[in-house]
Amino acid sequence: MKGGSCTMKKIQFTLLSIVCLIAAALPAAAQQSVTIILKDNSVRTFSNIDSVRLVGGNFGDATGIGIKIYVTGATQSEDFLYSQMLDIVISGQTITVDAPVITPDGGEFTQATTVTITCATTGAAIYYTTDGSTPSATHGTLYTAPITISETTTLSAIAVLDGVSSTVTTATFTYVDNNVNANWHSINWQANTGNMTYTPQSAGFWRLEFPHISDKTNTSWVQKEESEYGVALAIEWDNDIISNRWTAYQLHSGNSAMNVDRKDSFKEDDELPASTRSTLDDYKGSGYARGHLCPSADRRGSLDQQALTYFLSNMQPQWGSHNSGQWAQLEDDVRTVAIHENCDTLYIVKAATIDDVHINNTTVSGFYSNTYEGTTYADLVCNGRLVVPKYFYMALLAYNKSENKYYAMGIWTKHFNNTTTGADNKPHDWPIIRKENAEYITIAELEARTGIDFFCNLPDDIEAEVESTLETSYWTDCGISLNR
């Protein structure tokens, strides 16, 4: 080339032409110095540079416009038009582009995970694939924002700068099902009045208050909803025994208002098979109360909402002294927890024993037989049709939003008929919870006694922790006395 005593060989750029006004960068690691010879024969040399950008294309290309030189530490670039130049010399070392970094770098996960990809080489574009194939500038997706991974995925990424590619970085993310006992794994669930197959997610089985649905074939499920408040309660019904297996519902500030007074409206549940539903005649003259599981007082936001608790499918035969005494007091305690500032939502399951129960390694019938604890009972069932449970119980799961933490507890109560009266000729126990007749236990213990998997829709690790722990301080702070 012209000028000076030394001859400088013109660099033949290998970059493809880029459309006018679009800048292409030369890799930072390739730039040691740039020398520009201008048409006035002056020479400008730049060393210690970060990067070089060719605007429009290479020097000598029809579309080429100019060059931008970024000197390390400078606040702005040095710009030259090709029309000013006689020649350019760019000297440097082998071009390299840093491999992308994937964070986190793979492993097992139990829920949707956010993944970021970065590259230390300034200006490099990152391309990635999620199907195990090798990414490139022409194959894969341009990375512009963090990626969400929700299934087992092989994530591969490559960084590209001016046609030069880095090595490929690969990370394998393996999804581990953390809800192996969740209801949505159940199939061919017989619900409502026929052999209908529900998709559990759409049917509501995913709700946290739901126990694991029974694997018995002759079981029905109904969900009671009201337009303003949504789902009021859900019921599992055993058509063989003709009995409620459980009632599940939520209690929180949004549905615990007491706007209306109690208005009795007991009625049959026509969503259950006609031959296996309980009726008003089943209770008439029996001496047993129609004992609510989801009580009327928990659904007093409106008369329509309250009316949903009066389906007989939400009831079990109870002795009046238990229903209006110990059980009613426990229900008051539950409402106290639900409106406490440390409880944002209370997930509740209430039920009675209709199957065998297991206490202290002893298996006993879950409902009354001829004799129980030394007392002889003439009737095995209510009016010869409905079983009378030996025990009633509650499973409670509280969520504290400020702590992002769950607390769980089981309440187990003997179903007793207290006929002892005082001087006023009234039962002594009606407002009293007697310690010898009520136990506060872990959900794990309650599951062992009943054989029911409560709160199965929680992630298994959280479920295992909360169900094996009874944090008494939380429940007492929320208003339940555990030491009556």
> Residue 129 belongs to a domain with what CATH number?
2.60.40
Pair 80, 107 in one domain:
no
Counting the structural domains of the chain, the total is: 3
Confidence at residue 310, expressed as pLDDT on a 0 to 100 scale: 96
DSSP state of 371: E
Q: Is residue 219 part of a domain?
A: yes
- Altogether, the residues listed in the chain come to a count of 484
Domain final position from 39, 71, 91: 91
Pair 153, 206 in one domain:
no
Side-chain half-sphere of 339: how many Cα atoms within 13 Å? 10
pTM of the model: 0.65
Q: Is residue 122 part of a domain?
A: yes
- Of 92, 120, 85, give the one whose Cα is nearest residue 34: 92
Q: How confident is the model at residue 434 (pLDDT cuts 50, 70, 90)?
A: low
Lowest mean pLDDT among 1-10, 198-207, 316-325: 1-10
Sign for the CA dihedral angle at 384, 325, 390, 396 comes to positive
Which helix (H) or strand (E) segment holds residue 450: the answer is helix 443-450
Mean pLDDT of 360-375: 71
Domain final position from 137, 152, 175: 175
Per-residue pLDDT of 79-135, as tens digits, reads 999 999 888 877 754 457 899 999 999 999 877 899 999 999 888 999 999 998 999
Pair 229, 267 in one domain:
yes
Q: Is residue 7 part of a domain?
A: no
Side-chain half-sphere of 142: how many Cα atoms within 13 Å? 7
Mean pLDDT of 74-82: 90
Q: Which two tokens stand for residue 237?
A: 């019904």
- Cis, peptide link before residue 431, omega less than 30° from 0: no
Distance CA 464, CA 443 (A): 10
* Domain span at 124: 101-175
Q: Is residue 307 part of a domain?
A: yes
Per-residue pLDDT of 171-191, as tens digits, reads 999 988 777 777 776 644 434
CA distances from 285 to 280, 282, 288, 334 (A): 10, 9, 8, 31
Give Cβ neighbours of residue 366 (< 8 Å, ≥ 6 apart).
Answer: 352, 353, 354, 355, 356, 357, 389, 390, 391
> Residue 414 burial (CB < 10 Å; 0-12/13-18/19+)?
middle
Q: What is the CA radius of gyration of the chain?
A: 37
Q: Is residue 11 part of a domain?
A: no
> Residue 68 belongs to a domain with what CATH number?
2.30.30
Pair 129, 277 in one domain:
no
205: left (phi over 0), alpha (psi -120 to 50) or beta: alpha
Sign for the CA dihedral angle at 364, 370, 374, 377 comes to positive
Distance CA 198, CA 415 (A): 35
Pair 117, 43 in one domain:
no
Mean pLDDT of 182-206: 52
Give Cβ neighbours of residue 56 (< 8 Å, ≥ 6 apart).
Answer: 17, 18, 19, 20, 21, 22, 63, 64, 65, 66
Domain final position from 175, 202, 223: 175
Whether residue 53 has pLDDT greater than 60: yes
Per-residue pLDDT of 380-415, as tens digits, reads 578 888 999 999 999 999 999 999 999 999 999 988
Pair 353, 452 in one domain:
yes
SS3 assignment, position 235: strand
